[in-house]
Amino acid sequence: MFASDDYGNLARTSFCISNTAKHASYQGKDTSGDNSAFQSEDVLAMGEHHIVVEVVLNPATGNDQRVEEEELPDYRAERFYPVRLGEVFHNRYQIVAKLGFGSSSTTWLARDLIARQYVALKVYVHTSSVHREIPFYHHIASRIADSSHRGRNNTRRLLDSFEVNGPHGKHIILVFEAAQMSLRDMRVVFRRDGFDEDFVKGAIIELLQASDFLHSEREVGHTDIHPGNMLLGIYDNNLLKNLEEKESTSPVPRKPVSSSRTIYLSRFMRPKEGPMLLSDFGEARIGPGPHGGDIMPLEYRAPETLLYVGWSYPVDIWSVGLTAWDLLEPKRLFTARDEDGDLYDAAHFAQLIAALGPPPPKFLAKNPSRKADFWDAQGNWLGLAPIPEGRTMEALETRLEDNSGFLRFIRRALTWMPETRATAKELLQDTWLTGKKA
């Protein structure tokens, strides 16, 4: 849980969950081109959405100045439903503030007029054709209700879903339990050099609890775990009333586009104590697999996805390891880019070799044709990208006086062979998290 009101000094905070080759195409999710929190101090990301902290609209530019979702590279206004503050959806949910936006949806704080609580509405573009979140939540519904697994409380709850007719088509709306900022946002705003070790330990414990619940009880792989999808929940729903009151007394800037469309700026709320909630199941896969296809943010892709072989729950464990690293360390372990900043698979493989050592022959044997793009018949690296010097884990870890426990944990999560990667349940017993001696 986030347990401090001293936002300038997160050293006093902690999550206390349990008291305790350029020719080769690079496929996947490229977050480098979006207006994400990783790229700008002026923009935050709420899960998969962006939150603008401060934008000053220049009266001289009028409607020519792009704001919020208008800044997305592929933005087309007609794809988005023109939500208005005060609008009531489904005869139940009244919009009180904008929380963020993404390429396929906008997110809003709403008052549930029946249950008398605040909720979050995710309003999809009408061109969004694949919705894995609804099938996922249908799949886990019974276990969420009757399970005693701790991880169920670290999985964000879907409360309702429905469709609305917009000017250009139908839009799906998902209603979630309300949450605060993501851990990625908290780091961007409060601790750009990384959180304190105890804070990271607590967050990773809760993330592993959620992952173990999904893997062991519901047979689901998330496939998109990273700090931006770890939201800070809220224990007291009434605290969100502050956002509604601020909108009344100090309305956010807005940009009238037409008589039927207004672009609102998103509201920002300083974090309060709350649980970690794993969110955004839009890329979730049901069943142990093996599955195929592109998954994971580019820098987070597990070795088996780079080699184009089937994957399963261990991809989430790889993501947990990189999440722990990114929450603690100022520099990423893997950037998937060469020294010139070019993004491609060979550069990614080269960084993996620098940090983990060369891949075992059993790994390369999983896909001989893909292997031949980067290694010779004897398993020697072809050099399509240079193996970077100074990118070992030991060299890149700069925060801890004693990093032996942390690096041991990371090495259990980051392995070439998915079969030898620790499970979520096993990592929950790791001495770095439990504090027990090895």
Catalytic residues: 224
Angle at Cα 281 formed by Cα 147 and Cα 107, nearest 5°?
115
Whole-angstrom distance, CA of residue 310 vs CA of residue 415: 16
Whole-angstrom distance, CA of residue 328 vs CA of residue 199: 9
Residue 409's nearest CA partner among 329, 322, 331, 327 is 322
Residues written for the chain: 438
- Count of C-beta atoms within a 10 Å radius of residue 103: 17
- Count of C-beta atoms within a 10 Å radius of residue 135: 12
Which residues are CB-neighbours of 117 under 8 A, at least 6 positions away? 111, 178, 237
What count of Cα atoms within 13 Å lies in the side-chain half-sphere of residue 334? 29
Q: Is the dihedral of CA 290, 292, 298, 304 positive or negative?
A: positive
Query: Quick one: DSSP state of residue 226?
Result: S
Query: CA separation (Å) from 279 to 51, 79, 372?
Result: 16, 24, 38
Q: Are 212 and 425 in contact (CB under 8 A)?
A: yes
Whole-angstrom distance, CA of residue 274 vs CA of residue 255: 33
Q: Is 122 part of any known ligand binding site?
A: yes
Query: CA separation (Å) from 190 to 60, 112, 113, 244?
Result: 33, 31, 34, 24
Known binding positions for ATP:
122
